[in-house]
């Protein structure tokens, strides 16, 4: 999909540029942007690396298990049918923690593992269980404690207050997650897994 | 009316407090903090190298869209919808690309921050949208590939409702806090 979007962005620019008599300007601007992109990357590379370093210290210090304990009541509420110390619940908690700390590289493999565990507990494997939907939605509206990339990009763009978006991001993400979770709960009541009363085998 | 002074205080202190806690906890738990930091920074530079080609591709394409006048055309056509939702036109391409491509939307955000300015309403709203939403389609596709599921049921509609809520809430919050 991104292939079509990108391809059409270029083609559309060329066509509209030609119609507007700005073909040369269009191409020059494109080349200029390519030239400047290295400056952009260099200007936020330092801040990005600093945050990755800090987050690595947090990770090595065992912050994940600490946050996991804090999250336990919430995850139990969201996944009432999963055993509290089962492998599915453990990987789910680890995935949420990685997302919170902004460790995207660690979050995805954990998320895939959690999906695999949820798949094992599924009664009708062709259909996504409520737990899978809840978990995926948690990941498509993920909550990050310090949005490091955005702060780095803002600082690189010369912002005087690169941090001022932190609380707005917390509020907006929180609201987005809440809406997504309520939608999952309501919609899955409206259209449960068909041809079976059992949506998911009980893990207990 | 939310306490704007309090919110800006929290923003200023959130970072030093989290930073202090992480370092203190690390020292207390006998983590080799310096070595951990170095190895983390190494991961960081790998991420940056991975992002660079994507950023290059998107920044180039967006610059061409803007220079040719095609961007104005696109914004002109979606303007009625976005005016209705109260979203500034400049942010629309970001809101549209965000669920599809993570790297691509980082490129668009960079473009918005550099052309409109990071400390403008557009720049702030774009930052908050970027921070409160995710690459929904990509995440759904990758996560369900780890299972044998054929029908994802409510996952996609619920995730998209979350994205819409996040985008509208972002613009609304920025309007209240930053005016």
pLDDT, tens digit (0-9, with 9 covering 90-100), for B98-155: 888 888 899 999 999 999 999 999 999 999 999 999 989 888 988 998 888 888 889 9
Partner A contacted by B134 (CB < 8 A): yes
The mean predicted confidence, pLDDT, of chain B is 88
Q: CB of A173 within 8 Å of any CB in chain B?
A: yes
pLDDT in tens, A116-160: 999 998 888 889 999 999 999 999 987 888 898 899 999 999 999
Given the structure tokens 């995926």, which residue do they identify? A136
Over range B44-48, report the average pLDDT: 87
SS3 A151: helix
Look at residue B26 and tell me whether its pLDDT is greater than 80. Answer: yes
What's phi and psi for A193, nearest 5 deg? -60, 125
Whether residue A184 contacts residue B156, with contact meaning beta carbons closer than 8 Å, is answered with no
pTM of the model as a whole: 0.85
Return the higher-pLDDT residue of A27 and B92.
Answer: A27
Give A1-58 pLDDT, tens digit per residue. 678 889 999 999 999 999 999 999 999 999 999 998 898 888 888 888 998 899 889 8
Closest CA in chain A for residue B43: A52
ipTM: 0.85
The Cα B142–Cα B70 span in angstroms is: 33
Average pLDDT, chain A: 88
The per-residue pLDDT for B58 is: 87
Between CA A42 and CA A50 the distance in angstroms is 13
Cβ atoms of B114 and A157 closer than 8 Å: yes
List, as ranges, residues 31-50 from A with C-beta within 8 Å of B.
Answer: 31-34, 36-38, 40-41, 44-45, 48-50
Query: Which two structure tokens, joined as six digits, stand for A30?
Result: 């494109």
Backbone phi, psi, residue A4, to 5°: -65, -45
Alpha helices by DSSP H, B69-120? 70-85, 92-97, 102-116
Among the listed residues A191, A37, A179, A125, the one whose alpha carbon sits nearest the alpha carbon of residue B167: A179
- Model confidence at A200: pLDDT above 70: no
Position with higher pLDDT, A133 vs A200:
A133
Closest CA to B14 of A26, A162, A153, A108: A162
- Sorted by sequence, the CB contacts under 8 Å of residue B154 that are 6+ apart come out as A128, A133, A183, A184, A187, A188, A191
Q: What is the pLDDT of residue A203?
A: 55
Interface test mutation site (partner B, options A141, A152, A194, max chain B beta carbons within 10 A): A141
**Chain A within 8 Å of B150 (Cβ-Cβ)?**
yes
Q: Which of residues 18-47 of B touch A (CB under 8 A)?
A: 18-19, 22-23, 25-26, 29, 31-33, 36-45, 47
Please give, rounded to a whole number of angstroms, the shortest distance from the CA of A154 to a CA of chain B: 6
What are the backbone angles phi and psi of residue B73, rounded to the nearest 5°? Answer: -60, -50
The whole-number pLDDT of residue B116 equals 92
Which SS3 state, helix, strand or coil, does residue B50 take? helix
Q: Which of A88-97, A192-201, B32-41, B42-51 has the lowest mean pLDDT?
A: A192-201
Question: Residue range B53-64: average pLDDT?
Answer: 89
User: Tokens 């509609």 appear where?
Assistant: B157
DSSP secondary structure code for residue B174 in this structure: H
Res A72 pLDDT > 50: yes
Q: Is the pLDDT of residue A197 over 50?
A: no
Domain ranges of chain B: 32-178
Closest residue, chain A, to B171 (C-alpha): A172
Please state, for a pLDDT cut of 90, what percent of chain B lies above it.
45
Q: What is the pLDDT of residue A78?
A: 93
To test the contact with chain A by mutation, choose from B6, B31, B87, B149 the residue with the greatest count of A C-beta atoms within 10 A, namely B149
């Amino acid at each position: 999909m991104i292939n079509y979007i990108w391809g059409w962005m270029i083609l559309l620019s060329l066509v509209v540029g030609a119609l507007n008599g700005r073909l040369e300007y269009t191409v020059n601007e494109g080349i200029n942007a390519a030239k400047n992109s290295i400056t952009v990357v260099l200007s936020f590379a330092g801040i990005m690396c600093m945050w990755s370093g800090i987050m690595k210290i947090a990770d090595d210090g065992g912050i994940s298990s600490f946050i996991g304990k804090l999250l336990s009541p919430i995850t139990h509420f969201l996944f009432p049918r999963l055993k509290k110390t089962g492998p599915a619940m453990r990987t789910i908690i680890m995935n949420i923690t990685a997302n919170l700390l902004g460790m995207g590289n660690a979050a995805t493999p954990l998320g895939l593992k959690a999906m695999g565990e949820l798949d094992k507990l599924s009664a009708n494997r062709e259909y996504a269980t409520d737990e899978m939907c809840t978990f995926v939605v948690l990941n498509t509206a993920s909550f990050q404690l310090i949005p490091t990339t955005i702060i780095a990009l803002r600082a690189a763009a010369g912002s005087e207050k690169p941090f001022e978006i932190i609380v707005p991001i917390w509020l907006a993400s929180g609201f987005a997650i809440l809406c997504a979770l309520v939608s999952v709960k309501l919609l899955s009541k409206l259209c449960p897994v068909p041809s079976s009363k059992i949506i998911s085998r009980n893990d207990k | 009316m939310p306490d704007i002074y309090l919110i800006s205080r929290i923003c200023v202190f959130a970072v030093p407090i989290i930073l202090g806690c992480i370092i203190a906890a690390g020292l207390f738990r006998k983590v080799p903090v310096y070595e951990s930091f170095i190895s983390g920074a190494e991961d960081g530079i790998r991420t940056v190298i991975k992002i660079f080609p994507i950023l290059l591709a998107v920044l180039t394409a967006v610059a061409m869209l803007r220079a040719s006048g095609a961007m104005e055309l696109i914004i002109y056509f979606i303007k009625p919808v976005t005016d209705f939702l109260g979203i500034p036109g400049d942010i629309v391409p970001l809101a549209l690309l965000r669920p599809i491509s993570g790297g691509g939307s980082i490129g668009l955000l960079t473009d918005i921050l550099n052309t409109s300015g990071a400390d403008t309403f557009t720049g702030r709203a774009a930052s908050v949208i970027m921070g409160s939403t995710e690459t929904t389609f990509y995440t759904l596709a990758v996560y369900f590939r780890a299972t044998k599921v054929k029908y994802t049921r409510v996952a996609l509609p619920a995730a998209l409702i979350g994205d819409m809520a996040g985008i509208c809430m972002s613009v609304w919050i920025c309007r209240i806090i930053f005016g």
